[in-house]
Each structure stands twice: as structure tokens, then as C-alpha cells.
Structure 1
Amino acid sequence: MLTNEMEKAFEMEKNYKLNRPEWNTKELQEDFEVISFSYGMVSVVRKFDGQKGFMDFNHSPRVYFNFIATD
């Protein structure tokens, strides 16, 4: 049985993941067109709506996150 504190922690983690989605390389290629790379940042176009933007990424493990729309 989970305690209230554990339930709150699980709920916080779930909300964090929903509000800060992450993509691995394969997922990124499915959801975005990559325009260019820079150190720790990638310029992309979101495929489903054509929205341009930037994302941060970590090298190891390679994870893309923090999509920020432009124009």
C-alpha cells in the first residue's frame, strides 16, 4: 500500500514528465524535421503542425527536450 507521500511523489513525477516531454533520437525523427545542430541545441520543425522551434539535448544518453516554439 502506498503512503500519501509516495502517492504525491508519483503524481509529481507524472506531471513533470507530461509537462517536460523528452524524445530519444528515433522519437525525434518521427515527430520533428531537424534543420540544424549547434552545441547542445537543435533547430527543428514539428511535423504535425509545421511549428518551427529549438530544442536542447544531452549527448549521453542522447535525449532531446525543452521544445521552444519560434515565430
Structure 2
Amino acid sequence: MPPSVLTIVGVVTIAVALWGLLRGRIIAGARGLKSNYYYRDDNPFSFYGFVLIYLSIGSFILYQSL
């Protein structure tokens, strides 16, 4: 994949994690056409786990694109 595409994918992935931290909910998959979210108040362990996963994947992709 071209480095510019990897850079965009990495930045978008990190933006999803940061936006999830600000809003208090993060997307964690889907069931059919309905998105499944984890909320900070309902399930903090899974919420912060998915934030960490998104940040790790995004930073790894950005590192590979450089």
C-alpha cells in the first residue's frame, strides 16, 4: 500500500480513538447493520480497552508508513 494511504488510515484510526474518549462511547463492532458501542460509564474496562486497541493500531500503521 502507498505510504500516503497508510498515513491517512493511521490518522483516522487515532482520530476515532480520541473522538471516542471525548464522547464517552467507542464503536466496538457491529451486529448486522447496527453498530455496537461500549460506553465509558457502563463498561469502563472494555471502553478503555478498545481505545487502547485503536491507539495501538493507529500508531503502528503510522510508524509503518514513515
Normalising by structure 2, report the TM-score: 0.34
Q: Which is higher, the Rg of structure 1 or of structure 2?
A: 1
Higher strand share: 1
Q: Normalized per residue, which structure has more helix? A: 2
TM-score of the two chains, using structure 1 as the length reference: 0.32
